Amino acid sequence: MTAEEKRIIRKQEEALALFLVNNFEDVHKIEFVSISKGGLGRPRFIYFSVNDKIEVSTDLKDSYDIQHYGLVYHNSSEELKRKEVPSKFTKLSEAQLYVVYYGENK
């Protein structure tokens, strides 16, 4: 992966983390585990865990609009619960959230 691809993916991870913490209850930790290659018109998917127990994936190019988004749950009967009133964080530093980005050590 090139430095430019890594920079783009980090921005996408940050946007996804902000979307999750603003729109879903009890999101305290997000760990980005793996990224699919995509290519030839196929989207690049990111696989991540929330609070060490909910396994999810989504398209990295998702708009992260609460009305139109796609989260796929894996190996878990538990799903994220939408907040009745979303938070309005504009930066991850405002939220009490621990994020492990793809390729980082825990």
Q: Write out pLDDT tens, residues 33-60.
A: 999 876 666 678 899 999 999 999 998 7
Q: Which residues contact 71 (CB under 8 A, 6 or more apart)?
A: 56, 57, 58, 80
CB 48 within 8 A of CB 35: no
- Predicted local confidence at residue 48, as pLDDT: 96
pLDDT of 75 > 90? The answer is no
- Predicted local confidence at residue 41, as pLDDT: 66
Structural domain spans, the chain: 3-100
What is the rounded average pLDDT for all residues in the chain?
88
- Predicted local confidence at residue 44, as pLDDT: 81
pLDDT of 106 > 70? The answer is no
Q: Please give the structure tokens belonging to residue 44.
A: 């690049």
- Predicted local confidence at residue 50, as pLDDT: 97
Say what the pTM is: 0.88
